[in-house]
Structure 1
């Protein structure tokens, strides 16, 4: 019997985070796919916000991806996905907050906004946030390692990566792709994308382009 039940939606980047954490931990889990456009009766008993991901463990529920992932790291401590040093752990939480409040917001605003002026503002914000990650995170914290904190993957890597897997949809609909000058980010993305956990649940570019069609109108027609 699975230790954990996770309520997920395949296109949701937040649920993607927690599925990756479970796979990195090697924890057996039951996956229940939720249609967010047609939620099953009683779903708010499991996820009071009516969102995914949510997990059930020992007849208790936890929701919100960043909180779920820290919970998993505490309950299943090996391999650790947060640094053990208190200062480094604080840094990790700062970057997870940066992902949630800045990076994801700019990504979403660029994809979802039908207004060209708002799109341009979001485009500038997203570039600025990527530049900040390149120079203030990967250039300073990674050393010679492939991941945020060097040689070992962490919850920070898992917190950012799902949106990078979805960048092809942003390029298709808004003409935005990872700038070539951000070489550390490109190396990081390549390293994370090769992990077994990531490849096990990866979706194609076409999948995200199709799923995000209702959120954005293509900039130009595609043949």
Structure 2
């Protein structure tokens, strides 16, 4: 069980041991300092209680009393509203919309390439090239503020940072051109909240 003295409310989160979307939710929980039961799931053999709770049997799945949530974006925004401090979205609608749109682009453009790389085979080399191109194209977004498109940590960072964390294990080298992205990652990786968000499998992907 992952706990923090700042919160006595215990949630349950069904999570894979190494998955970007699951890591995304765990990073939100860590940033909020929320106590929760972490239930690691073997994706090849999902437990019956997960299937009973979630008609898709998908991960991550969050349970808060009688409420079950299983869309990652919905989970993250729910947690940000349920536990408002610290806020992980800006106040103004324009900035919020920009961050939401950036998250959509990442889910549609970056994450499929990660899956192709992990699947291996000849398509993996092409996927590495495409993921590197996507990241370098986004360089202005990393340079625009201390965090991703925002002066403070936001829900967008909770998606971006897990991708950047996995780049060495994926065999993606951004080179000197990508230094602002790696510097961005280092600012997050050395925080206590980030360390709390990692499973043992994810810690093994690279040294803190």
Q: Identify the TM-score tier after normalising by the shorter chain.
A: 0.7 to 0.9
What residue number does 2:126 align with?
121
Give the direction of change, closer, same or farther, for the CA distance of 1:50–1:133 in structure 2 (3 Å limit): same
Instruction: Tell me how far apart the structure 1 counterparts of residues 125 and 166 of structure 2 sit (CA, whole Å).
Output: 19
Q: 1:111 to 1:129 in 2, by over 3 A?
A: same
Question: Counterparts of 1:206 and 1:68 in 2: how far apart (Å)?
Answer: 23
> Aligned partners of 1:149 and 1:195: how far apart in 2?
19
Secondary structure at the counterpart of residue 156 of structure 1: helix
TM-score (norm 1): 0.81
Aligned to 1:166, what secondary structure does the other structure show? helix
CA offsets, 1:111-161, max 9 Å, x none?
32412xx334323321221112112x1223x1xx2x114431111111111
Written as runs of structure 1 = structure 2, the 5 A alignment for 1:74-223 is 74-115=81-122, 118-135=123-140, 137-140=141-144, 142=145, 145=146, 147-171=147-171, 176-202=172-198, 203=200, 207-208=204-205
Work out which of the two has the higher radius of gyration on C-alpha atoms and give 1 or 2.
1
Q: Confirm or deny: 8 A CA contact 2:88 2:155 kept in the other structure.
A: yes
Q: How many Å apart are 1:45 and its aligned residue?
A: 1.8
Does structure 1 conserve the Cα–Cα contact (< 8 Å) formed by 2:9 and 2:36?
Answer: yes
Deviation at 1:168, TM superposition (A): 2.4
**Distance in 2 (alpha carbons) for counterparts of 1:57 and 1:206:** 27
Q: Which runs of 5+ in 2 are unaligned?
A: 1-7
Task: Determine if the alignment matches structure 1 residue 7 to structure 2 residue 14.
Answer: yes
| Contiguous gaps of at least 5 residues in structure 1 | 210-223
Distance 1:121 1:83 in 2: 36
Runs of 4+ in structure 1 off by over 4 angstroms are: 203-206
Deviations 1:59-115 (A, max 9, x none): 110012222101111111111111111000000001111110001112222332412
Aligned-partner SS, 1:42: helix
Query: For the Cα contact (< 8 Å) 1:20–1:158, is it kept in 2?
Result: yes
RMSD of aligned residue pairs (Cα, Å)? 2.1
CA contact (8 A) 2:23 2:162 kept: yes
With over 3 angstroms needed to count, the CA separation of the structure-2 counterparts of 1:3 and 1:42, relative to structure 1, is closer
> Does the residue aligned with 1:182 lie in a helix, a strand or coil?
helix
Q: Paired residues, what number? A: 198
CA contact (8 A) 1:168 1:205 kept: no
